[in-house]
Structure 1
Amino acid sequence: MTRPVGVPEHLPDRLTICLWDFSWYTRAGAGEPYADLDAALDETAARGHTTLRICAAPLLQAGGLGLDDLADALPVEGLGPAPTGGYYGQRTRWYDVPGGFTVPLRTRFFDLLAGAHRRGMSVVLASWEYQQSPAFAADPRWARAIHAVPHATRLDALAAAFARLLDDVHDAGLDDAVAFVELHNEVDFSTTPGVGPDDGDAAVRACAALRAAHPRHRVTVSLGRPPHLAMHELPAGLDVGQCHVYSYGVLDALQRRIDIRASGTDGFPNAALRALQVPGAPSFAEYGRPAAWKLAATVVTDQMLYGYDTIDADRWDTWLYEHYGEHREVMHREIASRVTALARWGAWRGVPTVVGEGWVGYTPLEGTFEEGPVGRSLAEHGMRTAAQEGVWGVVACSNAAPHHPMWSDAAWLRRVNEEFRGS
Structure 2
Amino acid sequence: MPTEEPRIVLPAALDHLPERLAITLWDFSWYVRTGPGEPFADLDAAFARAVDLGYNAVRICAMPFLLFRSGVDTSALRLEPLGGAGASNGYGSRVRWYDVREPTVIDAKAHLLEFCRAADRHGVKVIASSWEYQQSPAFAADPAWYEALHAVDPEDRLAVLGEAQADLVDFLAEHGLAHVIACVEPHNEVQIGHLTAGLPGVEDAVVELQGRLEAGIAAFQARHPEVLCAPNYGGVPIGSLRGLPRNATALGFHPYVYGVLDDLIEEFGLRRDPALFDQARADAELLRAGAPPLAEWRLPEANAWKLKASIMQPVEIYVHDWCDPEKFDRWLYNGYGAHRIAMANRLRDWIDAAADHAARLGVPVFFGEGWVGYTPRDGRFEEGPVGAQICRDAIAHSVRVGAWGSIVCSNAAPQHPMWADEALQRECNAALLAPVK
**TM-score category (smaller protein):** over 0.9
Alpha-carbon deviation of 1:269? 2.9
1:4 aligns with 2:8: yes
Q: Deviations over 1:129-154 (max 9, x none)?
A: 00000000111101111111111101
Mapping 1:22-421, distance limit 5 Å: 22-63=28-69, 65-67=70-72, 69=73, 71-81=74-84, 85-193=88-196, 196-269=206-279, 271-272=281-282, 274-289=284-299, 291-421=303-433
Deviates more, 1:401-410 or 1:7-16: 7-16
Secondary structure in 2 matching 1:331: helix
Alpha-carbon deviation of 1:119? 1.8
Alpha-carbon deviation of 1:273? 5.4
Q: Give the Cα separation in 2 of the matches to 1:120 and 1:164.
A: 23
Q: Given the superposition, is the C-alpha separation of residues 200 and 315 from structure 1 closer, same or farther in structure 2, using an over 3 Å criterion? A: closer
Q: Tell me if structure 1 keeps the 8 A contact 2:207–2:240.
A: no
Alpha-carbon deviation of 1:209? 1.3
Q: Tell me if structure 1 keeps the 8 A contact 2:6–2:400.
A: no
* 2:202 matched residue in structure 1: none
Q: Deviations over 1:190-227 (max 9, x none)?
A: 21149633235110111011111012211122000332
Q: Which amino acid aligns with 1:35?
A: A
Q: Give the Cα separation in 2 of the matches to 1:66 and 1:360.
A: 38
Q: Deviations over 1:237-268 (max 9, x none)?
A: 11111011011011111111111122343354
Alpha-carbon deviation of 1:43? 0.5
Q: Given the superposition, is the C-alpha separation of residues 55 and 79 from structure 1 closer, same or farther in structure 2, using an over 3 Å criterion? A: same
Q: Deviations over 1:384-404 (max 9, x none)?
A: 011011011001100110000
Q: Tell me if structure 1 keeps the 8 A contact 2:36–2:102.
A: no
Q: Tell me if structure 2 keeps the 8 A contact 1:169–1:175.
A: yes
For structure 2, list consecutive stretches of 5 or more residues without a partner in the other structure: 200-204
For structure 1, list consecutive stretches of 5 or more residues without a partner in the other structure: none
Alpha-carbon deviation of 1:80? 1.2
Q: Give the Cα separation in 1 of the matches to 2:207 and 2:62.
A: 28
Q: Give the Cα separation in 1 of the matches to 2:368 and 2:393.
A: 15
Aligned residues: 420
Deviates more, 1:222-231 or 1:170-179: 222-231
Q: Given the superposition, is the C-alpha separation of residues 263 and 82 from structure 1 closer, same or farther in structure 2, using an over 3 Å criterion? A: farther
Q: Deviations over 1:311-357 (max 9, x none)?
A: 01111111111111111111111101110111111111100000110
Secondary structure in 2 matching 1:188: coil
Q: Deviations over 1:67-102 (max 9, x none)?
A: 1x2x22211112115999442111110010123221
Q: Given the superposition, is the C-alpha separation of residues 311 and 387 from structure 1 closer, same or farther in structure 2, using an over 3 Å criterion? A: same
Alpha-carbon deviation of 1:104? 2.2
Q: Give the Cα separation in 2 of the matches to 1:203 and 1:230.
A: 14
Q: Give the Cα separation in 2 of the matches to 1:66 and 1:355.
A: 33
Q: Tell me if structure 1 keeps the 8 A contact 2:116–2:177.
A: yes
Q: Please give the root-mean-square deviation of Cα atoms over the aligned residues, in Å.
A: 1.8
Secondary structure in 2 matching 1:204: helix
Q: Give the Cα separation in 1 of the matches to 2:51 and 2:324.
A: 34
Secondary structure in 1 matching 2:184: strand
Q: Give the Cα separation in 1 of the matches to 2:376 and 2:206.
A: 31
Q: Given the superposition, is the C-alpha separation of residues 270 and 202 from structure 1 closer, same or farther in structure 2, using an over 3 Å criterion? A: farther
Alpha-carbon deviation of 1:6? 3.5
What is the TM-score when the length of structure 2 is the normalising length?
A: 0.92
Q: Deviations over 1:259-305 (max 9, x none)?
A: 11223433543524543110111011222235221000000011111
Q: Give the Cα separation in 1 of the matches to 2:291 and 2:283.
A: 11
Q: Given the superposition, is the C-alpha separation of residues 139 and 84 from structure 1 closer, same or farther in structure 2, using an over 3 Å criterion? A: closer
Q: Give the Cα separation in 1 of the matches to 2:364 and 2:264.
A: 35
Q: Give the Cα separation in 2 of the matches to 1:39 and 1:399.
A: 19
Q: Give the Cα separation in 1 of the matches to 2:207 and 2:103.
A: 43
What is the TM-score when the length of structure 1 is the normalising length?
A: 0.95
Q: Deviations over 1:44-88 (max 9, x none)?
A: 11111110000000111111x321x2x222111121159994421
